[in-house]
Amino acid sequence: MRIEKCYFCSKSVYPGHGSAFVRNDAKVFRFCTSKCRKNFNMKRNPRKVRWTKAFRKAAGKEMTIDSTIEFEKRRNVPVRYDRELVQTTVKAMKRIADIKQRREHAFWKTRMAASREKLRAHRKKKLAAKVASVKLVEPIAVQSSETEKIREKIKVSTKTRSALVPGEGRSMAMEID
């Protein structure tokens, strides 16, 4: 059973799945979904489309140099069946998958630590800018004699009658003749 890789997004394409495009020069392009096929037909570059594996590798989001990745690139060559060979191959595949998973986790941890440091530096910078922009100034003590003079000058006369008393000024009620 041969598991192909999608030409556009690099996902696994199992037998009986996906579609293939054969160019005039007999080069075969395999696609996992119509989404990949349509993007290929639109002549989009997989390294510029954010959801592809090629973009992730180019942007440093995915591991690029690792010996376990090389095992995926090996093509299936017909070999005479040998029970012991199959058992050792299955054991090796499990071990390689385990190693690959541990390495990917370590890679993810270092990536997250770097981004966390960037975030901390950004927050410190923002906080420093905020503290620098706010300056506390103590209020000036005003003498009590000055305030009394101001109060004496500002005297407001109050109306003796309210504007809402009926018969005085405008009323809200309708007048009937």
Instruction: Quote the number of domains for the chain.
Output: 2
> pLDDT at residue 73 above 70?
no
**Could you tell me if residue 10 is left (phi over 0), alpha (psi between -120 and 50 degrees) or otherwise beta?**
left
Model pTM greater than 0.85? no
Q: Is 161 within a domain?
A: no
Task: Give strand pairing partners of 20.
Answer: 30
Q: Is 95 within a domain?
A: yes
Residues with Cβ within 8 Å of residue 151, at least 6 apart in sequence:
none
Q: What is the pLDDT of residues 5-63, one digit of tens each?
A: 999 999 999 999 999 999 999 999 999 999 999 999 999 999 999 999 989 888 888 77
Q: Is 69 within a domain?
A: no
Q: What is the pLDDT of residues 121-146, one digit of tens each?
A: 999 888 888 777 766 666 666 556 66
Structural domain of residue 52, as residue ranges? 1-62
Q: Is 73 within a domain?
A: no
